[in-house]
Amino acid sequence: MQTEQELKELVKQKYSEIALQDSAANRSSCCGASGCSTEVYNLMSDDYTQLQGYAADADLGLGCGLPTEFAQIKKGDTVVDLGSGAGNDCFVARAITGDTGKVIGIDFTEAMIEKARINADKLGYNNVEFRQGDIERMPLGGGVADVVVSNCVLNLVPNKNNVVKEIFRVLKPGGHFSISDVVLVGELPEKLRHVAEMYAGCISGAIQKQQYLDIINANGFTNVTVQKEKAIVVPNDILSAYLEPHEIAAFRNSGTGIYSITVFAAKPAACCAPGCCS
pLDDT digits (tens, 9 = 90+) for 237-275: 888 888 899 989 998 999 888 889 999 999 999 754 455
Q: Tell me, what's the pLDDT at 104?
A: 98
Q: Which CATH number is 84's domain given?
A: 3.40.50.150
Question: Do the domain assignments include residue 165?
Answer: yes
Domain count, the chain: 1
Q: Tell me, what's the pLDDT at 197?
A: 58
Cβ(42)–Cβ(205) below 8 Å: no
Distance CA 64, CA 61 (A): 9
Question: Do the domain assignments include residue 236?
Answer: no
- The parent domain of residue 47 ranges over 4-182+209-229+261-266
Q: Tell me, what's the pLDDT at 204?
A: 62
Question: Do the domain assignments include residue 273?
Answer: no
Of 216, 191, 204, nearest in space to 11 by CA: 204
User: Which residue positions in the chain have pLDDT lower than 70?
Assistant: 1-2, 4, 6-45, 194-204, 271-278
Tell me which amino acid residue 263 is: V
Question: Do the domain assignments include residue 131?
Answer: yes
Dihedrals φ, ψ of 17, to 5°?
-65, -40
Cβ(67)–Cβ(149) below 8 Å: yes
Distance CA 127, CA 49 (A): 22
Q: Tell me, what's the pLDDT at 21?
A: 64
Q: Tell me, what's the pLDDT at 5?
A: 72
Question: Do the domain assignments include residue 65?
Answer: yes
Question: Do the domain assignments include residue 194?
Answer: no
Question: Do the domain assignments include residue 198?
Answer: no
Q: Tell me, what's the pLDDT at 32?
A: 44
Q: Tell me, what's the pLDDT at 57?
A: 84
Considering the entire predicted model, what is its pTM? 0.85
List residues bridging with 180 in a β-sheet. Answer: 151, 262
Contacts for 52 with CB less than 8 Å, ≥ 6 apart: 92, 95, 96
Question: Do the domain assignments include residue 51?
Answer: yes
Contacts for 178 with CB less than 8 Å, ≥ 6 apart: 67, 68, 70, 71, 72, 147, 148, 149, 227, 262, 263, 264
